[in-house]
Every structure is written in C-alpha cells, then in structure tokens.
Structure 1
C-alpha cells in the first residue's frame, strides 16, 4: 500500500500545480487564500515554530472560529511536524479549562474575539499564549521558503482532537501524521472530489470529520473550499448559488431544518450542485426521501468517528438509501456477534474497524496517553452488512434499553415516531424503572403548524411496534437537544426527564 503524501508535500505540490487559483473562499466574514498563499503562509508558521524550539509531539492549541487564520495555522503546524490541538471554545464552554489543563500545550494560539470565558481559560492554563492580533504580524516577518528545521515523522502525533461528549466528558483523541494522511485520502476518493469541485463547509474545523474531508480531502485533490463560520438557514442556498458550490456538507440537523422551514430554491436552480453529504448522526430513510423529493438534491450518506475517521461512505454514483455505504478505502470493517464471531450478511452485530487511518491514543488525563487498539476497534455501533458490502447502522450498543431482560434499540422507536407526518424530530432513551429495570421514554417535537400529543404518539407506535417497545412516556418538546455536531445530547435528555419527573401516561 502506497502511503498518501503528507501535508508538507501536498501544500508544495498543489501550490506548484494551481498557484494563484483560489483554494479557500470564506463567506462569513469574507476572505480568501490561493494555493500559493496557503503554501507561503504555512512555511511562515513552520519557521515561527522552529524559532521557538517546538519539538515533535508538542501540542499547539488553536482556539478560533472557522476562517483563514484557523486554516493557515492548522496546516502550518502539520507542515512543521508538531501536534495541532484545534479546540472549539463555544462548544467546550465551561469544560475548556479542564481540557487545556489535560492537553498541557506548548503554545496556545487564540482569537481574542472568542470573549472573556476563553480569555480566562487561556490565562489559567499556564502555557505561553499568543493572540491572533499579535501572532500574524510576527508571522509576516518569517520567510515564505521551506523551513530546514522541520520536526516529526509519520508515526509522531499530528492532531489531538476532542470528541463531542454526548454521553460523557469530552476526551482527547490523537492520531499520527500517517493516519491523518490516510484519513484524508479515503473520503476524498470515495466522494469523488475533483479539481473542478467547490465544497461548502460550515461545521467547526475543530472536529475530525471536516478536518479529514473538507480540509485534508480538498487539499489532496486540489478542490476549492468554501467556508462559513457556522450554518445559516437564510444564507445557505445563497452560498451554494453565489459560490458555485458543487458539493455541500450536510448533517441530519440541517436537513431537518430545511424540511421544517422550506426555502424556494431547489437543485434545479443550482445546476452545478452534485450532491449533499450526510453524516455525524443517523438520518432516517423517510427524511432522506422527503428531502430529495422536496429539493431534488441527492444525499450521499457516510459515517465516521473521531477514533476511526471516516469509516464508510456511499459513492455518489452508487448510493443506497438507508446505508452508510461500504467501508472507506484503507478501512477494514466487519460485523461481529457478542461472542466475537463474524456475523452473516443481514445479521445485526457490532461494527469493528481497523486500518491505517485509526487514531493511536486517547488523552485520558494531563499528559497521559492510552493506546487505542489498532487490530480491531469496537465502535459501539450496531450494524449489519448486505451481500454487496454496504453497511447499515441500526443503533448504538451502549444506548440499548434493557426492558425486562429484553434488548430494545432506541433507534427503532425513534424511526417509528419520525414516520408520523406531524413529527419533525424525535429521540428515545431508557430511564430507571423499579419493575422492568428500564422504561422507554421518547421525546418528540412537532413540525411547524402541527400539534402532537403523547397519547397520539403512543398509539402511532403501537400500530408499528411490538407492545413492549411502545414508549411508556412521551414528552413533547420544542426541540430535541443536540450537540454542535448534530448528535442527540443524551445527557440533556436525561436531565430533562429528571426535571419533568415521571409524567403519567395519558
């Protein structure tokens, strides 16, 4: 297997190939970088780090919103060979001081615009900190030529990302320069990124998924990147049209928002748009088909996690609705039973993955790394595979509700609820029950202009599910709490249940 090129080689090669062609187009706020400018800026970052004596595996924390500064620093640190630790201050919130303490960064590069909470956390962490408004004038004084004092090798740590912390505190996940290269190459190939494409990304670049696809993937293929600080419902289709976007990144939360608050534009008004991805959280078949029928935009599903990168994905030309696609290039995946035996096609088991894209370690405490298994990583996803190798995620193993000794998959109940015409979104959890061990509680929010009742929802489920799977309690909410990545915030649902108590079944 030929190792994909590293960031240093890619920056130089794409600058030679494309020069003054625009690589990065920022729409919020406006700004741009050509391939040549990105290459030169990253050389300056490398010289700056060398001047400060930064060594391989030392962590450089980058705290900032999506924008040219973040992109230059991310790639520049990787080019030099140190470890970049991108953090989203807004998402981490009060957890930021704890994260910075555990990371023990050699240097913190941060944006004062993030506000007082970030400033307090940065000051308290004890590391040398340089704000962007001080940093970039100093970078401008550095040479734009290759740095002879680069550090690190393919097996040194490249990126230290943090998980979303949907069920527990966010934790650090470290991957090597080699793993980062493979992790970018796989989705770029599977999603067929082309030099002529322009990819719209609005998710935080502090997350692994956009780093591997929207940053590394586009750099691998010479694809243009259109970048926004965050999703905007009223600007979304304007960005696609005005920036001639051909691939738009999607998550189920955005897809649901566009269905619940429709806009007039469709794919017919955007002839250059090839497809929209969907990842980060499950997307029901009904919602996918409804979106494609409403907007005439194909959805290409994929799946990944911080520890394993992009694990699977559909090809734009060979997609299957309801499937996350076959394993990505370089990824080895299998479905195993409780005993560790391989499951037959169609049989549900746990998804096991391995490959050169795997992260190498968890950061479990201050400066303490614990290895991640490389010969087979249990993802916690329940899944099945068909005869053609397409994977279908059916739920999360640790989310299973054990009611009276019987396993119940929350995803099955949520899918049934989403099939109701008046339901915009739903989620299901298990809560302690004195008789059955756990009781099933579902949360639903209605579509605009509709109303739903708990009794109606339970009756609807009763017509589609076995009696023991019907929720004991249904709580109607204004919105299902989600993380910034679009995943259901289970801890928030558990807290909501505690606050509401155990409502009587109507």
Structure 2
C-alpha cells in the first residue's frame, strides 16, 4: 500500500481497534475509522465514497455491517482472521514506511446532525498537532489514567484519548460503551484521574443520581465536557452534587479541539481559551472583528486544521486554511475565554429579529422541573419563523406547556418567548450527544398534523 490509500476500520472500542488505528498511521497509509452501528444503512454509501483499498472489520458488528462490507467489493479481513496472521509475523517493526507529514493520516466522518455525514481528511501533521493541543491544555501527565467510552471512530476521542495519552505517556482506560451504573466503578477500580464526559452523560448522572462523591474517588482530577454545550445550571448542579470539577472544551471534526479550559483556571459556562495550535478570531456579520463581550462567528486556522472534505467517490474538496468559518456564535471575555451562544445556521429570524435558540434553551433549563430542552425555528406565514421548544421533565416531575410559557415570559423578551411548547419523553440526539434537529422538525410536523 502507498501513502493516501485508505484502510477502513470497522469495529467497536477494543484493544484491536487501537492497535490497528495506530498501525495504519505508523505505516503511513490513511486510516478511515467508522462506527457501523451509528451509520446503519448509510454505511454502504460511505464505503463507496471512501473507496478503501482494504477493510478491517469485526464480525460481531452483525449482519448489516457484513452485508455492507460484502457489497463494497473491497478486499476485507475480519479481526478474527487478521490477528492470528499477525501473530505469525516477526515481532520486529515493519521496515517499510510510506508518505510524509502532508499526506492524509485519518479520514473521519462528521456527525451529520443537519445533513448527511461527510468525510474530513487530516494530514499526519494536522493529526499530530491536533492531539498535542488537548494534551497541553488539559495538562495530561505520565501518571494520569484517562477513562474513555465514546466511539473511537470520532475525532474528539482520537485526539484526546488516543493521541493525547500517547503524547503524554498516560494510561488509557477504554470501555466498549458508556454505562450509567458502571462509570464510577470504573473510575474507582482503575484509579482514573481524568474521566471523559459529554453533556448527555452529565445530565444522566444528575437525573438518575448515584450515591457517590469525589471523596470516594480520591484520584479523580476532573471530568471533561465537550461535543455539545453544557448549561451553566447543570454544571453547577453536578459540581454541587458530586464535588467533581467539570473542565469544558469545544471543537469540531474539521478543526479538532478548538478551545479548552485549563484545569486550574476554569470558568463556568466557557469552553476556555483557544488551543495552543489554533488561531481564533470572532467576526460580526459585516466582517468586522468583535471586541470583548460582542457576539460573532468563530473563525479558526492553525496547523491542526483538516485539509479537505471527501464529497464523493475519491473527490476531495479543500478546506480553507486561512480562516475557516465554524458556524459557532461565540463571545470572548477580556482574557480570551470563549463562550458559545449558539450556531449561526440555527438562528431563528422572527419578524426581522435574530433569536439564538441557545438563549431560550438556557432559560428553559432554569426551570426546576425541566431535565432537558431544545429549541428550533419553524416556518410562520406572518413572522417568517415561529419558535418551538421541546422539554422533558425530570424524573418524578411534571410540567405543562402553560407553566413553561409563564416561566419563559418572566425571563425572556417577548419576541423570544416560544410560540409552542411541546413536552416529550426525551430530546432526540445523535450518538455524540448533539441535538438531532431533523428529528425535532419531524416531531413538530407530526404534532402540527
């Protein structure tokens, strides 16, 4: 195999997955890690676009994955066939290595919350700088033991938990999947010092609390939170209940970890200052640079940026390197800490007024009986868009639309008060904990009908 030829890696979290992930990168080819369970019927399309030279896969993924592998027509070796073959090979390192720093190391896929998932290509150089950033910012040490349970097919755990621990010489404690009942047992039994977190997990531990605090986990330094915004109220509630500090960060597949709080200088509600290898600016709709406290779109560049999108079979589209528009609306304080206020494409324009769904959702989460919430805009014949909010009650609690309307009227300007409140059992989210907007829009259409 040569540089930039692709090897697709299909499997759940395992030592085999980690071994093969780093093995392909060390050789110099391109590794394409995919989560077959999450991609489901879209797996066949993605394999067609990736056009891998080889597929390495785990038979335990089931019939749908097996059918997609067979239909691809690509040479494939299952893990149970591969590792006996590897065991028969010499233990010495492979002498052949291909490629250089500018060749593609990893081809990841975005989460596809509002559109089809797309491939994002990172060079060996970008991947290296990408995992150096969180290793530095979160002060990873050789003595640290980092717990990871998110799919290793995502960029975030690749950079923090795979590359970051390797960079720092830390120990990786790897779970196949998240378990509400086992997470604190894992932390205690494996002497974990840093536990990875996402808002969905933090909310779950609040809504179904466990009788344990940081005093029972003396080696735990902090838990991270990323992938989606964490409400200030929920962060404070978690830290009050469990006495475990939360260190927030933020990023995206195209730019890696863009920002993160230093563990010793956290600011509640902030994703922290830009990472060491990220150059960030905030610009207004007119393109002017925003000052401290002013909201604008986050623009990033730097050596850890992805180089291209895979937009079709073997078709790469360059990603701007001199200023990538993230779509995140943020503001910065006087010390450069970033605060996410919403997504540019999620903005609701009601009667000519821009309304950030995140502001409304934050107000909803301040209600004592609301466990989770989300807000979208829907077409309105008079005002252009109407505001629709979805809420889930906390366990043992009950909420009504009228009660939530009254709550919002006391906290929001009239133009920002939701026109419709829908109480649901759960807010639909994707596997990364991000709100699934298309599912919410479908819920609205069903209710409206």
Q: Counterpart of 1:501? A: 448
Matched, 1:484 2:440: no
TM-score between both structures, scaled by the size of structure 2: 0.99
SS of alignment partner, residue 497 of structure 1? helix
Q: Which moved more, 1:430-439 or 1:206-215?
A: 430-439
Q: How many angstroms does 1:487 deviate by?
A: 0.5
Deviation at 1:148, TM superposition (A): 2.1
Deviation of the 1:142 alpha carbon:
2.1
Counterpart selection for 1:465 from 389, 393, 412: 412
Alignment RMSD (CA, Å)? 0.7
1:139 aligns with 2:86: yes
Greater mean deviation of Cα atoms: 137-146 or 361-370: 137-146
- SS of the residue aligned with 1:363? strand
Distance across 2 between alignment mates of 1:327 and 1:207: 21
Partner deviation per Cα, 1:144-179 (whole Å, 9 max, x = no partner): 222222101000000000000000000000000000
The answer to whether the aligner puts 1:66 opposite 2:13 as a matched pair is yes
Structure 2 residue 328 is matched with structure 1 residue 381: yes
In structure 1, C-alpha distance between the alignment counterparts of 2:16 and 2:237, rounded to whole Å: 38
Deviating beyond 2 angstroms after TM superposition, the runs of 4 or more aligned structure 1 residues are: none
* Corresponding position of 1:256: 203
Q: Which deviations, in whole Å up to 9, do the C-alpha atoms of 1:391-426 show, x marking residues without a partner? A: 111000000001111110000000000000000000
Task: Please give the secondary structure, in 2, of the residue aligned with 1:379.
Answer: strand
**Structure 2: gaps spanning 5 or more residues:** none
Task: Give the Cα–Cα distance (whole angstroms) in 1 for the partners of residues 402 and 46 of structure 2.
Answer: 44
Deviations 1:313-358 (A, max 9, x none): 0000011001100001111111011122210111000000100000
1:44-123 aligned within 5 A = 54-123=1-70
Distance, in Å, in 1 between the alignment partners of 2:151 and 2:323 is: 29
Residue 475 of structure 1 deviates from its aligned partner by 0.6
Q: How does 1:83-482 map to 2 (within 5 A)?
A: 83-482=30-429
- The superposition leaves residues 186-241 of structure 1 with CA deviations (integer Å, 9 ceiling, x where unpaired) of 10000000011100000000000000000000000100000111110010100000
Matched length:
449
Partner SS, residue 372 of structure 2:
strand
User: How far is the alpha carbon of 1:306 from its aligned partner?
Assistant: 0.0
CA distance in 1, matches of 2:448, 2:53: 47
Query: What residue in structure 2 maps to residue 27 of structure 1?
Result: none
Bigger mean CA offset, 224-233 vs 142-151: 142-151
Secondary structure in 1 matching 2:16: helix
Taking the aligned partners of 1:231 and 1:86, their CA distance within structure 2 comes to 19
Which ranges in structure 1 are unaligned for 5 or more consecutive residues? 1-53
CA distance in 2, matches of 1:90, 1:146: 33
d(CA) in 2 for partners of 1:329, 1:342 = 21
Partner Cα distance (2:379, 2:283) in 1: 29
Distance 1:340 1:132 in 2: 51
